[in-house]
Structure 1
Amino acid sequence: MQLLLLIPAIGVIYWVFKSRAPSRRDAAAAPLRKHVLAPPASAPACHWQDGGRYATEVVVESAFQGVIRALAGEPGERGADAPFPAVLVPDDLNAYDDKAVAVFVAGQLVGYLAREDALNLRRKLGRGGMAGLPTSCDARVRGGGLWQGKRLSYNVVLDIPSFD
């Protein structure tokens, strides 16, 4: 008899706590609504160069493809390869990674440096007395060509040296 009363009681307690707790999706999205990174208002602390190698790729999520497509212009069949100045901004308030480095092209957020690249850049900035400051480099918006009748995605590559 006591067991029969205990099972519904546990169910009610579970339901009460479950209904009050935010879902994982809500918890993950909440910080994003509060934190919107804007392009820096100040001039970059320095300009990085790596001889035009463009070996560092920006991590581009699907959310940024529209912005990057607009920057690329009409790519034609072969795809885009458009030069732009870029600004790298340490993003300490990023909901997913407090060591993130945002990449802005033409004043618009186009993605982030890969985690290892961001950590290496931040170490370099710290050693140079520029921790937390925006820096700049040259960028190229590439992609969007046609392949088997479909338009390929775009990417952004940076002309920055390896900081490891």
Structure 2
Amino acid sequence: MTDAILLAIMALSLAAMYLLLKKGFRPAAPPAARAPGPAYVPAQPGAPVKHWSDGGRMLTEVLAESRYQATVRELAGEHGDQGADTRLQAVLAVDPLNPYDDKPVAVFVAGRMTGYLSPKDAQAFREIQRREEIDGQPISCDAAIRGGSVWQGKHLAYAVWLDMDLSR
């Protein structure tokens, strides 16, 4: 009896493999295109509940998105051909309404949207918030806007760095 059941299972497995190989594997459907229209911008965060500092080491980089580069360039101010190193205050806020990411952390510098934390940094940020019992609350920290120097006749891109160590 057991042998008959095992033979039936083997026969069904072989039939399924034959059908898969005969028909081939179909590639996954391409992702749906984003609907045209205005780009999503998160809501301005409220007043920060805490100011984090890591002694001015500026270890966390904000993800550079091309659509925020003009804003970051304006915030960097005039610096000639030398690279900018403009110091401002940043506010980080969890963005639960973002339609493109499920757990993003938006970064506002001087009240203007400049980008997001990387997914790994956003997770670390949320874990620290949970530990300190301030889940989902806006946090401030010092920020540095660097870049924009001239190299081979062209201005380099700008980057926003935050005075917080999320690698711990």
TM-score for both structures, normalised by structure 1: 0.78
Alignment of 1:122 onto 2:130:
no
Structure 1 residue identity aligned to 2:45: P
In the comparison of the two structures, how many residue pairs are matched? 138
Larger Rg: 2
Distance 2:73 2:130 in 1: 34
How far off is 1:163 after superposition? 5.4
Q: Distance in 1 between matches of 2:48 and 2:34?
A: 35
Match of 2:89 among 77, 85, 92: 85
Q: CA deviation at 1:124?
A: 1.0
Q: CA RMSD in A?
A: 1.8
Q: Structure 2: any 5+ residue segments left out of the alignment? A: 1-30
Structure 2 residue 98 is matched with structure 1 residue 105: no
Out of 93-102 and 105-114, give the one that drifted further. 93-102
Q: Alpha-carbon deviation of 1:128? A: 1.5
CA drift at 1:85: 0.5
Give yes or no for contact 1:48–1:161 (8 Å, CA) kept in 2. Answer: no
1:150 to 154, 158, 161: 154
Structure 1 unaligned spans of 5+? 1-22
Deviation (angstroms), 1:131: 0.8
Separation in 1, partners of 2:118, 2:79: 26
One-letter amino acid of the structure 2 residue matched with residue 143 of structure 1: G
Give the aligned residue type for 2:41: V
The structure 1 segments of at least 4 consecutive aligned residues displaced by more than 6 Å after TM superposition are none
Q: Equivalent of 1:38, from 43, 60, 69?
A: 43
Instruction: Indicate the SS of the match to 1:76.
Output: coil
Specify which structure has the higher proportion of helix.
Answer: 1
1:94 and 2:98 equivalent? Answer: yes
Q: Does structure 1 residue 138 correspond to structure 2 residue 142? A: yes
Given the two structures, how large is their TM-score scaled by the length of structure 2? Answer: 0.76
Alignment of 1:12-27 (within 5 A): 24-27=32-35
